[in-house]
Structure 1
Amino acid sequence: MHLIDSYLPTYQFSELHTVDIPVDPSHAMAAILAHRPEDDRFFRYAIKLRELPMRLLGRSPHPGTDQRASFGMDNFTLLQRNGDVEVAYGLAGKLWKADYGQVVVADDEAFELFNEPGNVKLVISFSCQLLRPGLTRVTTQTRVHCLDADALRSFTSYWYLIRPVSGLIRRRMLRAIARRCAAGKNLHVDLLVKHIDNSGRLYKAGVDKIDYHIPEKHTRHELMAMLGINDGATPCLP
């Protein structure tokens, strides 16, 4: 069962987009997690337009924070990641409102338990399917479940208003992920090690050879935690 089926098996609205990328799933997932839609100029313009009424009223998409902050990945809750196969994010609230009407969801359990009338629950997922060695199909799927008839009436018109832009953002996102993967295939690492006596040694395209000198090893997630970097893919316009 896919993660999105687990977290949102019932839904009234959905969209799905795919792209085939000549890399293995681990590289595709790394590109997904590293991507930020805020880097896309079109995404920034779309969000600014979406938030214009709210900003004219002096309100913020992040209650209690700087009102200049725009909607982005921080609005979503990481629900679950399944290795290099899938990752899913959730969002809940009255998303058609000028300020998104977002409900704070702490974790995957809180998302599953949330059932407040008048709201919707949204899940966006990314999956990496190995088609053959060196070729991966990346799929992004979005589902929205309205928790009652009032929410369905309110969200329906909003969905059809944003649907063309939302779909375009997702397609642009997949193209950006594909470009990141292509750039990564041509990447090699040169590492300059600085010793405590201020002498240096350059390991050119041979990082694996420094293990003798630097025995400590960390996973990608450990390093991101040390650096305070949020480990997650970047969902899109709700």
Structure 2
Amino acid sequence: MLASTIVYAGIILAVAGLALVIRPLPRLGIATRLRASLVMVVGIALVVIGLLAPARESRASRPTTQLDQFTPRWQFREIHTIRVAVPPERVFAAIKDVRADEISLFRALTWIRRGGQPLPESILNAGDREPLIDVALRGGFVRLAEDAPRELVIGTAVHIPPGARDTLTPQLFVRPPAGYALAAMNFLVTADGPNASIVTTETRIFANGRSASRRFATYWRVIYPGSAIIRRMWLRAIRQRAMRQP
């Protein structure tokens, strides 16, 4: 995601500029603290630009999945894919059965995401005895669609306006009320020959209103790299479990 890349490039420049203010390095062309300060200022400017850049809305041109039905529009999106050398039925079972402790870096990244705070059981504070999907569905997510062995879609509210009392239901995702930001994530399994599958996970967030979009854009651009790592590791854990299961 370009905006997130700009944010983290700015952070790196700002930190490097601060270090060069403390100790200029002539061999890098930064011989004075003034030049180092300029590097730091450019870095800070990039962070601000990346965080405040407006989010553009996209739309599914032709609905082909259940995710398209529930989130046909979005401003924020990530998508990851992996090939698994087992049939779709076994992959779909693994998607529903994989636990948090099977996903590399999951605990570390979710601990960072929640700021190290102890939280009730949820996808950000999952145990290691139950499937992660089940934990998510008890901890703020709803099942939007399940079409075994092809697609599973779950969703949650990532921003609710003050005073709102709407119940989180699949219908809410089809027509999000003003001020809401709703996230939907799917796992889509397609056959790749007689004994292999392609697994895709896609996350879409639609924020209904400028204020909701601005609020979530700042958050998304900061957490995106960690979110992308979690999704990739999640897919790898699904592949490993699917290949172990009989």
Structure 2 CA distance, aligned partners of 1:2 and 1:166?
22
Amino acid at match of 2:68: D
Structure 1 CA distance, aligned partners of 2:212 and 2:202?
21
Amino acid at match of 1:178: R
Match of 2:148 among 83, 97, 113: 83
1:168 aligns with 2:229: yes
1:115 aligns with 2:177: yes
Amino acid at match of 2:219: Y
Q: How far is 1:109 from its partner?
A: 2.5
Q: Corresponding residue for 1:127?
A: 188
3-state SS of paired residue (2:192): strand
Given the superposition, is the C-alpha separation of residues 15 and 34 from structure 1 closer, same or farther in structure 2, using an over 3 Å criterion? same
Structure 2 CA distance, aligned partners of 1:41 and 1:23?
21
Structure 1 CA distance, aligned partners of 2:233 and 2:79?
13
Q: How far is 1:39 from its partner?
A: 4.2
Contact 1:105–1:111 (CA under 8 A) maintained in structure 2 = no
* 1:204-223 pair list within 5 angstroms: none
Q: Corresponding residue for 1:29?
A: 92
Contact 1:3–1:80 (CA under 8 A) maintained in structure 2 = yes
Q: How far is 1:93 from its partner?
A: 3.4
Structure 2 CA distance, aligned partners of 1:48 and 1:11?
27
**1:95-135 residue CA offsets vs partner (Å, 9 max, x unmatched):** 8xxxxxx9885432344354141x31100000110121001
Q: Corresponding residue for 1:202?
A: none
Percent identity for Structure 1 against Structure 2: 27
Specify which structure has the higher proportion of strand: 1
3-state SS of paired residue (1:180): helix
User: For this pair of structures, how many residues does the alignment match?
Assistant: 170
Specify which structure has the higher proportion of helix: 2
- Name stretches of at least 5 consecutive residues in structure 2 with no aligned partner: 1-63, 127-134
Contact 1:76–1:90 (CA under 8 A) maintained in structure 2 = yes
**1:179-213 residue CA offsets vs partner (Å, 9 max, x unmatched):** 111111xx4xxxxxxxxxxxxxxxxxxxxxxxxxx
* 1:30-179 pair list within 5 angstroms: 30-40=93-103, 42-52=105-115, 60=119, 62=120, 70=125, 73=136, 74-94=139-159, 105-117=167-179, 119-179=180-240
Contact 2:102–2:237 (CA under 8 A) maintained in structure 1 = no
**1:148-183 residue CA offsets vs partner (Å, 9 max, x unmatched):** 000111111211111111001111011111111111
- CA RMSD in angstroms, aligned pairs only: 2.7
Amino acid at match of 1:158: Y
3-state SS of paired residue (1:75): coil
Given the superposition, is the C-alpha separation of residues 2 and 103 from structure 1 closer, same or farther in structure 2, using an over 3 Å criterion? farther
**1:202-229 residue CA offsets vs partner (Å, 9 max, x unmatched):** xxxxxxxxxxxxxxxxxxxxxxxxxxxx
3-state SS of paired residue (2:73): coil
3-state SS of paired residue (1:133): coil
Contact 2:156–2:182 (CA under 8 A) maintained in structure 1 = yes
Give the 4+ runs in structure 1 shifted more than 2 A. 36-41, 52-55, 69-72, 102-107, 109-114
Contact 2:111–2:117 (CA under 8 A) maintained in structure 1 = no
Amino acid at match of 2:236: R
Q: Corresponding residue for 1:197?
A: none
Structure 1 CA distance, aligned partners of 2:158 and 2:227?
18
